[in-house]
Amino acid sequence: MKVATFNINGIKARINALPDWLDEAQPDVALLQEIKSVDEAFPREIFEERGYQVETHGQKSFNGVAILSKLPLEDVTRGLPGDDTDEQARWIEATVMGDIPIRVCGLYLPNGNPCPGPKYEYKLAWMQRLQARAEALLATEEPFLMAGDYNIIPQDEDARRPEVWQEDALARPESRAAFRRLMNLGFTEAFRARTQGPEHYSFWDYQAGAWNRDDGIRIDHFLLSPGCADLLRDCQIDKEIRGREKPSDHVPVWVELAA
C-alpha cells in the first residue's frame, strides 16, 4: 500500500498538477491539505474517474483536508477531538481496508505565526489535542499513521538555513518540544527511519528564489504507530514536483507499507 501526503495549496490552483502527479505516482491513498474549498465545490469527479473514493473536510478559502483512496474507506470522521468550538478544517480520519486495515489520519497543523500571540497559542493547544488523540488511537493497538503538513521543523538539519527559523513558530523550542512529546509516545518518523542527514526538504517558499537555491525546510511528516512501523518498506520525498509548472510550495511525501 502506497500512502502519500501532499499540501496542494489550493485545489483550484492545482487542478492540473494534482491529477498529473496522481497518474504518475499512483498512490493507493493520498492525504491532501490546504484544499481551500468547501466540500460541495471540491472537483471530486476528476478523482473518482481515476478510481478514488473522495472524502473531504473543507472550509471556504482556507485550510481543508481530504482523503483520496483506491481502497475502500470505513469509519470516516472529521475534526480533531477536544474542542467543539474549533471551526478550522484541519483533521480527517478513515480506516483504509487493505490486506491489513490501516487507520489514516490526515492533518494540517496550524502554522502559529506571528509568534508569540494567539495564533501560536492555538498551535500549541492544537498539538495538545493531537497528543490526546494519538494516545487514544495507540490504546486501540491497531496500526495507524498520522500524516500531513505538521508545520514543524523537527531539527536544525531539516532546514537549509536553521538560523533564520529560530524565532519562527515552526522551530521554536516549545513547538519542537511538543513534537518530541508526540514522538515519545512510541511513533516512528518514517522518513528519518529510512534516510539520515541534512538537505532533505518538502517545502520551498515562493519568495526570494528559494527553490532555485534549494533553501527549503522539511515540515511534512509521517508518524507511524508501532504496528504500522512494522509494515514500513520505504519513505521518499517527490522533490522534483516542485520544479514543475504551477507547483505547490510543498511536494508529496509517501510511504510504502506491507499492507
3-state helix, strand, coil split of the chain in percent (to 5) is 30, 25, 45
Q: What is the rounded CA–CA span in Å between residue 247 and residue 243? A: 7
Structure confidence by residue, pLDDT tens digits, 80-130: 999 999 999 999 999 999 999 999 999 999 999 999 999 999 999 999 999
Structure confidence by residue, pLDDT tens digits, 118-129: 999 999 999 999
* Angle subtended by helix axes 118-140 and 173-183, to nearest 10: 10
pLDDT of residue 247: 97
CATH code assigned at 11: 3.60.10.10
**Overall domain count for the chain:** 1
For the annotated catalytic residues, the residue numbers are: 108, 149
**How many angstroms separate the Cα of 21 from the Cα of each of 112, 247, 250?**
29, 11, 13
The pTM for the full model equals 0.97
Domain of residue 252 covers 2-257
Q: What is the rounded CA–CA span in Å between residue 202 and residue 214? A: 10
